[in-house]
Amino acid sequence: MSASVLLVFAQHEVSGAASHAPQWANLQRSAVDSYIERETPIAWNALLNNIGPCGDCVTGAACGIVVARPCKSDPDYFYQWQRDAALQGQIPSIRLHRGQQEFSHEIQQHSQAQAILQLIWNPSGDNGEAWGLGEPRFMVDGFIHSWFQGWGSPQRDGPALSAIAFIQTHSWLKDMGQAPHAKLIIWPIVKNDLTYHGQYWNNSGQDLWEEVLQTTFFQIAEQHSALLEGANFAFLSGPQCISCDQAPQVLCFQGRFWKGHQCYNSGRPRSGLDFNCELGSIQMFDPKAECDQIQFQPHRDSALANHKVVQDSFRYHGCNNGHQWGDAVAVGSYPEFVYYNGMPWYLAIQAAAEQLYDAVYQWQDVEWIHMGIQSLVFFHADVLTSAAGQYTRSHTTYQNIHDAVKTYADGFVSVVSCAKYHPRNGTLHEGEHRNDGKPDSASHLHWRYAALLCAIHSRATQVPASWGEACATSPGVCTAIEQSGHYSTAHNQSWPSACSQQHHRQTPCHCQHPVAYHFNGIQQYGEIYVLGTIPALGNWRDWGCHLRADKYTNSDQIWYSIVQLPAGERAVYKYIRKWEGRVDPNRLTQVQDCGQDHW
């Protein structure tokens, strides 16, 4: 039963069927609770193991560098992606403000790395004036030199996300009685990032999916949040932030992405629907936001309506077969996406849950729920059976809607946790195949684990501090004003010893290695497979992995397949001919431990 149907029951108290809803919701909630208990330490461990130099999976990474993925093939993401690194920095900051300091050592090292990266010229640089702060990724070795091989750049959201994370760290240092150190260590890094956005906020960059040059809602939303938070921070703490004066103009332009109840991002050959709007909404989340429509907070009419429209655009993927209309489904970046056959992304699925958890938190804070004309498309899943209205916490409808939306959010977590092919060791891949739901593309991507932890935190009401959304203002007329500023070097990175506590990892690394299977012989194309005792090789039940023939020649009849297997895995396997059964006897694969490639 879908959460949207539950909402209709909440309004009309349908007899009989409604009585089954609480039981179904409780079963799902219990399953999600169990999954979170199992997966949380795995996700934290995966994040830590991707940070140099102590990460178990990233041998050779420099101090404080956050590696996007600990593998160097299929695909090679062994570098620091600025967006991923900044989002990772926001998660421990939430724990710092709750008095949990176990990751302060990693935050300290990351600030030192960022101070170095801001000095490095790269393809996104502008005559040395902005040092290329929009560069999306950097190599991870001790020199931390920039990536020079044509990756889509610049990407305008990275500095904003970094500024948001470090402002949170700055606030924590002040709370620790270390205000002078905060001003010397953190503020110079933040000021450079904010200066960049004051200068370039109205310039296009590569979109979130690194395919087209455009301005996206996510980019504008992050820039506004960073500039407004920077302005509020500067007002309370003393440092000057001239670039932050651009925040109202950025907010004004942010509204131009919305048409009715949909957020559109133009860019051929796309329809305009794009998950970056939902990612922007959760990144703008302020637990103390006012309930007006200036901003697009998770609980507001436009954001909820857009959530519904985007989810529906993915319902026709084969992996979503069997889901009722209105159920949580596997979602991806945008409907026309073609990378890896347009697979749904785990970060998008978890972010869909996070937006709804954030909305529930905001309703709890203001103690009422507003159902506007726009958001009825979300609340009733196209079954428009009740009028718009406002329901206070004392009203039965408030509690019914509150519980149903939280159940709906749990449904997105269940899409991942209950997936037929979800690895038992908790590994998260980039996404899943759009037709059959099998994990697809890169494993152990940093952002996937970060997205899961963000959703878990929101579900548990462990939310970040307010960033001042209530102070947001928007002019009547939008004006594209740019503010050039001065960039300076963050020289001082000597942290006080009282603020550095190193975390000791308690669980082993769950990285994977590419394993190559080879078979030599004259066969017809499509006949040879490798089959084995583990899920990646078919569990002896299906055809396993098809061997490729793109290296096959008359003189070298080689068939091969490269399969990602968990570190330390042992597997029995054999080669089979599709129509005639086994080709040879059983063999053994022993995968090397983390940090060693196995071929």
| Binding-site residues from annotation for substrate | 151
In this structure, are residues 536 and 421 in contact, taking their beta carbons and an 8 Å threshold?
Answer: no
Would you say 182 and 108 are in contact if contact means Cβ atoms under 8 Å apart?
Answer: no
CA separation for the pair 303, 378 (Å, rounded): 10
> Cα separation of 528 and 519, whole Å?
8
DSSP 66: B
Q: How far is CA 245 from the centre of its chain?
A: 29
| Main-chain phi, psi angles of 142, to 5 degrees | -60, -25
Binding residues: 151
Q: What is the distance between the alpha carbons of residues 551 and 517, in angstroms, rounded to a whole number?
A: 13
Contacts of 483 (CB under 8 A, 6+ apart): 198, 199, 242, 243, 245, 246
DSSP state at residue 504: P
Q: Among this protein's residues, is 175 annotated catalytic? A: no
Residue with tokens 């020079």: 148
CA dihedral over 16, 22, 28, 34, signed as positive or negative = negative
Question: How many angstroms separate the CA atoms of 54 and 267, rounded?
Answer: 41
> 210 catalytic, yes or no?
yes
With a CB cutoff of 8 Å and minimum separation 6, the contacts of 332 are 275, 314, 342, 343, 344, 345, 348, 431, 434
Cβ–Cβ contacts within 10 Å for residue 473, how many? 10
* Residue carrying the six token digits 């007002």: 235
CB 499 within 8 A of CB 92: no
CB 64 within 8 A of CB 48: no
CA distances from 80 to 1, 109, 125, 181, 494 (A): 42, 14, 17, 26, 23
| Burial class of residue 171 in the structure, from the number of CB atoms within 10 Å of its CB (0-12 exposed, 13-18 middle, 19+ buried) | buried
Out of 193, 207, 222, 278, which one is annotated catalytic?
A: 207
Compute the radius of gyration of the chain from its Cα atoms: 25
Catalytic residue among 102, 210, 290, 336: 210
Beta strands, E only, 524-593: 528-532, 545-546, 558-566, 570-577, 581-582, 587-590
Handedness of CA 490, 495, 496, 499 (dihedral sign): positive
- Phi, psi dihedral angles at 253 (to 5 degrees): -70, -25
Using an 8 Å Cβ cutoff, are 558 and 518 in contact?
Answer: yes
Q: Is the dihedral of CA 43, 45, 49, 51 positive or negative?
A: positive
**Which residues belong to the active site?**
207, 210
